[in-house]
A and B are shown apart, each in its own frame.
Chain A
């Protein structure tokens, strides 16, 4: 029983990491109606940025949170502006331009393999001040970097939800998400909103990168692990839903760590896919999905 509770704790904390990755993906989908296949690669960029920053300057990993996400924001902003927007323009009349999906896949290939060329394929970790610290919660052990990751993930989700509700830019994002033609007619520059959404999504991947670095290893194709899970999470939670992304992440993290107590961990992956397909067949809009989006 103790093992199961310990696994539950670990699952929740790792699930929050998955949720944090999915948050950016769901934001980008909600606004742009595009599945960003490059999202795992953006996470990889965030992780490598944090890795080099900490490795070269030796700053505290959570100070990197003030530096990496803004850089990633502009990276995402201009990536969307220069690479993805032209395709959108060309396919203006299509509601869900599939060519954009393929362009993001191209971005994924380029980023992952550029990282491979620059840094090589080895797994890298950086020792930080908090890497091996933990505290005891009753008879259970909670790792500090994972726990703070959980807190930061929840804080990011709450912050993003507030941002979407309270600020003018957030409202513009939501308006575009609901009906981009009508938003356009109200004077919202659709492409600027896309840039911001993509920038924000990428910045969240930067946050995830900073939070993961103290306890996770980074390598060029690390994004794929999170990518596939993030896809499942966003569908589980409802594409475009912020609470859905976090909740979906927790569910996947829990399944992964609790089931691996009872069976080979390779089987848990199959179980995640099976649960995913069952949800799709039974309730395709996910926990909080928008009916019109599927």
Chain B
């Protein structure tokens, strides 16, 4: 068996497991945990398009989740537009906003960009909390929006069981992963990598760093906003503090950094590690000692950054490489015996 075949087999197995999992996991509670796991993996993969490949650290992505959720929900509640269409409108809107933020901020150094994204996201959140209605649009301020149950159907993006949500977010995750894979192997991917590491050097070689970053920002914001609609339809209720707060933005960045920024598998691995940890420590520890689960969370973050600053994907893929060589009995890529 060659290495390519091995990779393909494993990917197929992983996809089959992901699609078949609801056959085993039937409890809605656990299904919900899985849905949220994929939701975070999806968000982080979208974040990774700009945060990983463009070499900047956006810490305000929750604002795009908010744009997605508010756009589709307001369109549905007030104009009867299907959330599926609202989802696309929200995505395009978020991409435009992302470009508007990116235009002035991508010229700046990392720390400024970072603080800018935080200030922008918090600013929008505070504004939404202060606005009851914007012209004809009902925003409802800090109370948030409630989506009433209609007759559940695909067109209304409402379902009686958790199962359809599971498959929707799984397919969304696969799409954005595939896109990441294509980008990382494309010219833009290389340009981004070069511009993220050494913007001056890349620019000197004729790479239009700013345009590449803007494109990745637009894509990232577009896909992040789609997740907002998904969340709104899954929970049928959301409010600014929960949906657009800094906590969500930071958690996305944490998952990416622990998994491995700028790698394809990183966000998924990060979500696989952090989400269950987050859920279970919260369920079992927060009653005993409030705050303990976040102490553990912070410690893990510090430890991973201390010992594996590139994230967990690099050591894991080294292990996988070793195993794969044993299985395929291929010599080491460098031609040296392993």
Contacts and interface: CB of A to CB of B under 8 A. Distances in A.
Interface of A: 29, 33-35, 83, 86-87, 90-91, 96, 98-99, 101-103, 105-110, 112-117, 121, 220, 228, 231-232, 235, 239, 264, 266-267, 269-270, 273-274, 276-277, 280-281, 284, 293-294
B95 to A, nearest CB: 19
Nearest to A103: B305
A167 B129 CA distance: 49
B306 A284 contact: no
A101 B250 CA distance: 11
A196 B111 CA distance: 21
Interface residues of B, number: 39
B159 to A, nearest CB: 35
B318 interface: no
Nearest to A232: B119
Interface string B245-265: 000001001100100000000
A106 B112 contact: no
Given A87-B305, A114-B295, 6 more contacts: A35-B114, A35-B115, A110-B302, A113-B298, A117-B289, A117-B292
Q: State the main secondary structure of chain A at its contact with B.
A: helix
Nearest to B108: A294
A105 B122 contact: no
A5 to B, nearest CB: 27
A90 B253 CA distance: 20
Interface string B300-318: 0110011001000000000
A285 to B, nearest CB: 9
6 contacts: A103-B305, A105-B254, A116-B291, A232-B115, A235-B112, A273-B120
Contacts of A277: 116, 119-120, 123
B105 to A, nearest CB: 7
In the A-B complex, list the 7 residue pairs whose CB atoms are closest, starting with the nearest.
Answer: A273-B123, A109-B298, A116-B291, A113-B291, A106-B301, A110-B298, A106-B302
B290 A91 contact: no
A197 to B, nearest CB: 15
Contact of A280 (B116, B130, B309): B116
A176 to B, nearest CB: 17
A280 B305 contact: no
Contact of B129 (A87, A113, A266, A274): A266
Contacts, number: 128
Nearest to B57: A98
A110 B299 contact: yes
B84 interface: no
Contacts of A109: 294-295, 297-298, 301
Contacts of B257: 99, 102
Contacts of A102: 253-254, 257, 301, 305
Nearest to A276: B119
Contacts of A116: 290-291
A294 B291 contact: no
B298 A108 contact: yes
A91 B309 contact: yes
Contacts of A101: 57, 111, 114
A117 B306 CA distance: 25
Contacts of A115: 291
A239 B119 contact: no
B31 interface: no
